[in-house]
Chain A
Amino acid sequence: GENVEQHPSTLSVQEGDSAVIKCTYSDSASNYFPWYKQELGKRPQLIIDIRSNVGEKKDQRIAVTLNKTAKHFSLHITETQPEDSAVYFCAARRPQAGTALIFGKGTTLSVSS
């Protein structure tokens, strides 16, 4: 089955710096890759996602890149702010799998001002 590896497990940056989180997946059939942000005690919330027919997607300060050949995808956050501090999870999903996501173990991002 699918396995998703996520690195680093913790990331500390200064406000205004960029942050990059990387994930690799094992199942070449996976075709949907969302990123979730989870604040302490709250539900995971989708921040950006990408399908396998696209190499890059941007939404304001957040971008995701996908390399299907290497089976890895990355989250890029620019101009980080203290409110970006949270745990970020990457995930992968096979076609027609609905809500059956396979998650990475998460990255705790700390942005200090």
Chain B
Amino acid sequence: ETGVTQSPTHLIKTRGQQVTLRCSSQSGHNTVSWYQQALGQGPQFIFQYYREEENGRGNFPPRFSGLQFPNYSSELNVNALELDDSALYLCASTNDRVATEAFFGQGTRLTVV
């Protein structure tokens, strides 16, 4: 098991609502990325944070936003939820931008109804 933990594990929200997902990176890891994994698909890169600043973004609209805190934990915020936002949200951490292995958390299953 990795040291990356996510909360909550499951969440149900109504269309139009806002949601905040949380990720605690593995000790010593200063780089965190968020991914959206729709059913039957590969993880899609949302964005990455390095030392509290956004450091790369995938093809996701601005209603997907994030934060990284001084302890390197991170939040993913999604505003104006749409039905298509239903997915498994994964975070991954590593100890630097040049490091190799990315360690994944167990994910948050978000269902939008």
Contact = CB atoms under 8 A, between A and B. Distances in A.
Q: Which of A34, A89, A101, A102 has the most CB of B within 10 A?
A: A101
A97 B56 CA distance: 8
Contacts, number: 74
Interface residues of A, number: 26
A103 interface: yes
Interface size of B as a range: 20 to 34
Contacts of A96: 97-98
B45 A102 contact: yes
Interface of B: 2, 31-33, 35, 40-45, 48, 50, 55-56, 58-59, 90, 92-94, 96-102, 104-107
24 contacts: A1-B59, A32-B100, A34-B101, A44-B43, A46-B102, A51-B100, A89-B42, A96-B97, A97-B56, A98-B31, A98-B33, A98-B50, A98-B55, A98-B94, A98-B96, A98-B98, A98-B102, A99-B32, A99-B33, A100-B58, A101-B33, A101-B43, A101-B92, A105-B41
